[in-house]
Amino acid sequence: MTLEQRLGAVEGRISSMLQSLGRARDEVTLVVVTKNHPVDLAIELYGLGVRDFGENRDQEAQPKAHDFAQLVEGSSATWHFVGQLQSNKAKSVASYAGVVHSVDRESLLIALEKATVERTKPLDVFLQVNLTSDPGRGGVNPAELEPFAERVAGASGLNLLGIMAVAALDEPLEREFEKIAKLSQKLISVAPQAKFISAGMSQDFETALAYGATHLRIGTAITGKRNY
């Protein structure tokens, strides 16, 4: 299959799932994760109508976003940072990303607040929760969601969009996405505007949609295997 065919196939699955749920296509943002692929692939996707691109490492994303802006005149692309983010990379990420999906701790929050001083527009962010007991996976412990959400919602230069999580593939999917939906409700009770849900990847995006996902982060199902 070509890139165009794989994108079309995923778009088709998103549309039919949304139709069966009675949800509109424009409620959902498809972020195509281009990590470990060259800028040419992002440019080809842009030609096919993709406007939202996901990356998970600043070392790779920064030059890619830069080259992309040079090569695509008047680009209206938005770069989404979806991976664990070190505080010392916050300034770089805030220089090209429109959305950071992985805000999960106070030190990063402070670094991002500082980094956004030079931006003209606020930085959209998701608060990431960790559904596992492994702190190395990134994300705030669900038990600490509310106090941290108050902090993020009140942070200067940041606009809290909602919740982000990665479903564990060794757990029953429905239960994982049910947890995310519940945590989203909890977040909304603290920050009423933060109603978006970043969840759903190549292996699980249809289930994610059934549980209210609004931002899908899909890589391999569209881009093919990554070159490491």
CB-based contact 22:1 (threshold 8 Å): no
Is 219 near ligand PLP (CB under 6 A)? yes
Closest to ligand PLP by CB, 61 vs 218, is: 218
With CB under 6 A as the contact rule, the residue among 14, 28, 32, 33 that binds ligand PLP is 33
> What minimum distance in Å lies between the beta carbon of 14 and ligand PLP?
13
Q: Which long-range contacts (CB under 8 A, 24 or more apart) does 197-202 make?
A: 197/162, 197/163, 197/164, 198/82, 198/101, 198/126, 198/161, 198/162, 198/163, 198/164, 198/165, 199/163, 199/164, 199/165, 199/166, 199/167, 201/33, 201/166, 201/167
Residue 201 in contact with ligand PLP, rule: CB under 6 A? yes
Report if residue 132 touches ligand PLP, rule: CB under 6 A: no
CB of 22 to ligand PLP, least distance (A): 25
Q: Nearer Cβ to ligand PLP, position 81 or 190?
A: 81
Tokens of 117: 């001083």
Smaller CB separation from ligand PLP, 34 or 116 = 34
| Residues 38-97 interacting with ligand PLP (rule: CB under 6 A) | 56, 82-83
Is residue 217 within the footprint of ligand PLP (CB under 6 A)?
yes
29 near ligand PLP, judged by CB under 6 A: no
Q: Structure tokens of 185?
A: 């409700």
List Cβ neighbours of 182 (8 Å cut-off, separation of 6 or more).
Answer: none
CA distance 212 to 210: 6
Where does this chain bind ligand PLP (CB under 6 A)?
33, 35, 56, 82-83, 166, 201-203, 217-221
